[in-house]
């Protein structure tokens, strides 16, 4: 499933993307961007990150996103999952340390493949991408 997600996603909404280069959300998003993914920052506190306009929520993104990549506390994930379902996201990814079974069940019911507690950057590196 991980390969299918990595190959199928072209636009990645990064929820919780920071403008601080030392934060995992920043360097993971930069890595994705450098490998051809279109990054869409989702952080209501920022106007722009990595040269891309930042949005306050998933529902504000014109045209939506293929993949929602979450860098938020696990308790916040069900609300993000609801938005992902609303925008018709194809995939949902919870980064390392982010686990929420309620969100996983919601997304599974909506037939959206989910990855939990794994780093997208590390998965790409393992695959030599």
pLDDT digits over 9-26, tens only?
A: 999 999 999 999 999 999
Q: What is the C-alpha to C-alpha distance for residues 29 and 31, in angstroms, rounded to an integer?
A: 5
Q: What is the pLDDT of residues 75-124, one digit of tens each?
A: 999 999 999 999 999 999 999 999 999 999 999 999 999 999 999 999 99
Domain ranges of the chain: 2-126
User: Can you tell me the distance from the alpha carbon of 28 to that of 125, in angstroms, rounded to the nearest whole number?
Assistant: 11
| The two three-digit tokens of residue 8, written as one number | 């199928």
CATH code of 2-126, in short, is 3.40.50.720
Distance CA 3, CA 54 (A): 27
pTM of the model: 0.97
Query: With contact defined as beta carbons under 8 Å apart, do 58 and 15 qualify?
Result: yes
């Amino acid at each position: 499933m991980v390969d299918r997600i990595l190959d199928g996603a072209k636009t990645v909404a990064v929820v919780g993307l920071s403008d601080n280069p030392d934060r995992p959300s920043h360097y993971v998003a930069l890595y994705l961007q450098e490998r051809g993914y279109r990054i869409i920052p989702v952080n209501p506190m920022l106007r722009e990150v990595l040269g891309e306009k930042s949005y306050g929520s998933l529902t504000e993104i014109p045209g939506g996103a293929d993949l929602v990549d979450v860098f938020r506390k696990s308790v916040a994930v069900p609300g993000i999952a609801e938005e992902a379902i609303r925008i018709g996201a194809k995939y949902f990814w919870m980064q390392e340390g982010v686990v929420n079974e309620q969100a996983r069940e919601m997304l599974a019911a909506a037939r959206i493949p989910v990855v939990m507690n794994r780093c997208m950057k590390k998965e790409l590196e393992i695959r030599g991408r």
